[in-house]
């Protein structure tokens, strides 16, 4: 799955980087109407190139099949679904900002952003549908739609993002199971950030001032609700077969979910006249700020983290 995640991840980064124009200084390019066509061409080329590359270099390595469905809702404790929603939300948000910078009416830009976020990730499911190893996942499409829908609904209802979908990552130490973890998630730090669901946490970061304008909370103060999972050594169970054909059963290691309550910062709410800093805040705001956190997990334990990311 790594190559597909990399294509999605770096496409998001490129879209975010293009968003520098959202807060950047006016330029000669920005004064011409043709910027809309240029931007549309860049986006179409980016997506078309990604799908062509995936089809030729990733899916070509696996057997093809007739189009079929695959229900993977219970896989990885739904962490991959949270990842789909985060990706779709971020693509929708920043694609919309880019089109607004290009001069498009905000409502139209919001709708195009939402369609882009949902469609980009969902079209990959079509390629999955023709792969013998995977299949077209309706749960994935639902997660893609949820992420895009969260963005669009807030813009249409409130004209702002009061709830932001964010990501954080803390490396998980596997000890004697490191070889199994490396086989699943890769051995490099960059690979693990993208693939290791045991280290990822997804957050719904709620801006308090937006909901309670008369309160004394700062404009940038958020309360974040997080979701994660731990000790998953396979998609569905902690049992696997090694390369030598030996079956390893580690059902003694419990797979469990984790729920969090934490403070956060909406960096886009921090007032500054520096346009470059505004852009940096917008890019970094895809991640949750480390902060004290309360955890309740599926083992029935309550934990206090003085500093959690």
96 and 226 in a single domain? The answer is no
**Of 234 and 26, the one with more pLDDT:** 234
Name the burial class of residue 140, with classes exposed (0-12), middle (13-18) and buried (19+) by CB atoms within 10 angstroms of its CB: buried
Name the burial class of residue 171, with classes exposed (0-12), middle (13-18) and buried (19+) by CB atoms within 10 angstroms of its CB: exposed
Residue 64, in any domain of the structure: yes
The pTM score is 0.91
**Of 186 and 149, the one with more pLDDT:** 149
At 9, the pLDDT band (50, 70, 90 cuts) reads low
Look at residue 279 in the predicted model and tell me its pLDDT: 84
**Is the confidence at residue 166, as pLDDT, over 60?**
yes
142 and 253 in a single domain? The answer is no
**Is the confidence at residue 262, as pLDDT, over 50?**
yes
pLDDT digits (tens, 9 = 90+) for 33-53: 666 777 777 777 777 777 777
Instruction: Give the residue from 201, 240, 243 showing the smallest Cα distance to 224.
Output: 201
Residue 98 domain boundaries: 32-161
Count of domains observed in the chain:
2
Residue 240, in any domain of the structure: yes
Instruction: Tell me if 294 sits within 8 A of 98, measured CB to CB.
Output: no
Look at residue 191 in the predicted model and tell me its pLDDT: 80
69 and 179 in a single domain? The answer is no
At 1, the pLDDT band (50, 70, 90 cuts) reads low
Q: What is the 3-state secondary structure (H, E, C) of 103-152?
A: CCCHHHHHHHHHHHHHHHHHHHHHHHHCECCCCECHHHHHHHHHHHHHHH
Q: Out of 104, 135, 161, pick the residue that ends a domain.
A: 161
pLDDT digits (tens, 9 = 90+) for 167-211: 999 999 999 999 999 999 988 887 888 889 999 999 999 999 999
């Amino acid at each position: 799955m790594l190559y597909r995640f990399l294509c999605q991840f770096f496409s998001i980064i490129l879209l975010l980087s293009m968003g520098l124009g959202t807060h950047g200084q006016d330029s000669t390019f920005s004064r011409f109407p043709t910027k809309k066509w240029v931007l549309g061409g860049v986006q179409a080329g980016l997506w078309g190139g990604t799908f062509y590359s995936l089809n030729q270099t990733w899916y070509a390595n696996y057997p093809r099949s007739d189009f079929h469905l695959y229900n993977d809702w219970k896989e990885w404790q739904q962490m991959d679904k949270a990842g789909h929603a985060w990706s779709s939300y971020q693509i929708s948000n920043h694609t919309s900002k880019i089109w607004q910078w290009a001069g498009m009416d905000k409502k139209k830009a919001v709708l195009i952003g939402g369609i882009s976020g949902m469609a980009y990730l969902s079209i990959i499911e079509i390629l999955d549908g023709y792969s013998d190893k995977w299949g077209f996942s309706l749960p994935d499409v639902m997660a893609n739609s949820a992420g895009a829908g969260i963005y669009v609904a807030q813009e249409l209802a409130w004209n702002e993002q009061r709830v932001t979908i964010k990501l954080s990552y803390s490396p998980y130490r596997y000890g004697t199971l490191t070889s199994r973890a490396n086989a699943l998630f890769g051995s490099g730090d960059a690979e693990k950030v993208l693939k290791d669901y045991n280290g990822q946490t997804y957050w719904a970061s709620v801006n308090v001032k937006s909901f309670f304008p008369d309160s004394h909370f700062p404009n940038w103060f958020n309360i974040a609700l997080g979701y994660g999972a731990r000790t998953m050594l396979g998609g569905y169970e902690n049992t696997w077969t090694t390369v030598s054909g030996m079956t390893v059963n580690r059902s003694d290691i419990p797979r469990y979910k984790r729920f969090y309550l934490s403070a956060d910062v909406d960096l886009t709410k921090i007032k500054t006249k520096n346009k470059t800093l505004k852009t940096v805040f917008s890019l970094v705001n895809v991640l949750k700020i480390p902060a004290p956190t309360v955890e309740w997990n599926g083992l029935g334990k309550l934990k206090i983290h003085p500093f959690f990311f």
